[in-house]
């Protein structure tokens, strides 16, 4: 049973990851997120898995969407996660949605096969929505610095699988030595994030040790990038202690640091010296 649940989780994770990159490639496809957003919001507010479809309609109006002109059947079919209930015994899902006209009593819910992943699904939907707005609907770039910057944004939002896919896809555009070093660091961090999500603390612990050694070996080269490596090292050491106690914890974000201005006294010292 545990193996089957893991397979469903892997399937859902891959499906959502593909959806994310489609949205980033074609911004207009972001509309598919609305129905997920509304379901997750109402499910959280009411503490229920099954939500009246009329509530979804009201929620969509807040996003200036008319339900009657919203291709909800196509979106539900594409997501392949929801079913509609017309009465106690009649469930509508899959291709049956295409010829179904709901009544005011209809309800919507996540398919029972994926109900244990509802929180996971909702977290992804919220993050996809935030990222699609923050990055203005595009991850595509041939500029190495922008690619790495986008990767850090994905990492800090906890989108570890998506970040790994993105880094692998755009690796050919990273050619300088310091770019490849940051690529390696980010890739290792994303792997730790995925291991933590899977509760594989032993492997996460081993991976963190690799990162700490990597930071020690290439500290000077990595200092060229605007990230707080001291804080990262401190966070990772703290995380190791937590993992020893077999506790679940989220991976801290990678802090961006502004380029420091030269202190006034350095100018004065240089002036007096020269």
Instruction: Please state, for a pLDDT cut of 70, what percent of the chain lies above it.
Output: 91
pLDDT of 262 > 90? The answer is no
The residue-averaged pLDDT of 255-273 equals 57
| 162 closest CA partner among 172, 153, 174 | 153
Average pLDDT, rounded, for the chain? 86
pLDDT of residue 270: 58
pLDDT of 135 > 90? The answer is no
pLDDT of 254 > 70? The answer is yes
- The lowest-confidence range among 36-50, 105-119, 178-192 is 105-119
- The lowest-confidence range among 58-72, 93-107, 128-142, 215-229 is 128-142
pLDDT of residue 188: 95
Domain boundaries of the chain, sorted by first residue: 2-119, 144-244
User: What is the pTM assigned to this prediction?
Assistant: 0.82
* pLDDT tens, residue by residue, 78-119: 888 899 998 877 888 888 888 889 888 999 998 887 888 899
Torsion-angle region of 200 (φ positive above 0: left; ψ -120 to 50: alpha; else: beta): beta
């Amino acid at each position: 049973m545990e193996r089957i649940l893991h397979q469903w989780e892997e399937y859902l994770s891959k499906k959502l990851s593909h959806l994310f990159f489609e949205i980033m490639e074609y911004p207009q496809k972001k509309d598919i997120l609305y129905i997920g957003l509304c379901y997750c919001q109402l499910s959280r507010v009411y503490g229920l898995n099954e939500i009246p479809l009329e509530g979804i309609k009201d929620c969509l109006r807040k996003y200036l969407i008319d339900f009657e002109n919203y291709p909800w059947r196509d979106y539900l079919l594409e997501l392949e996660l929801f079913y509609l209930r017309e009465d106690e015994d009649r469930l509508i899902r899959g291709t049956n949605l295409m010829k179904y006209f709901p009544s005011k009593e209809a309800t919507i819910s996540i398919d029972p096969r994926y109900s244990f992943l509802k929180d996971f699904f909702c977290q992804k939907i919220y993050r996809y929505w935030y990222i699609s707005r923050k990055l203005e609907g595009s991850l595509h770039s041939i500029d190495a610095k922008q690619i790495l910057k986008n990767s850090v944004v994905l990492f800090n939002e906890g989108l570890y699988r998506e970040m790994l896919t993105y880094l692998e896809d755009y690796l050919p555009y990273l050619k300088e030595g310091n770019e490849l070093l940051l690529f390696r660091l980010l890739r290792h961090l994303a792997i730790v994030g995925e291991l933590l999500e899977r509760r594989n603390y032993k492997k996460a612990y081993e991976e963190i040790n690799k990162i700490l050694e990597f930071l020690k070996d290439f500290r000077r080269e990595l200092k060229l990038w605007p990230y707080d490596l001291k804080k990262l090292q401190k966070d990772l050491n703290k995380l190791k202690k937590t993992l020893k106690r077999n506790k679940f914890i989220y991976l801290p974000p990678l802090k961006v640091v502004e380029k420091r201005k030269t202190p006034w006294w350095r100018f004065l010292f240089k002036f007096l010296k020269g």
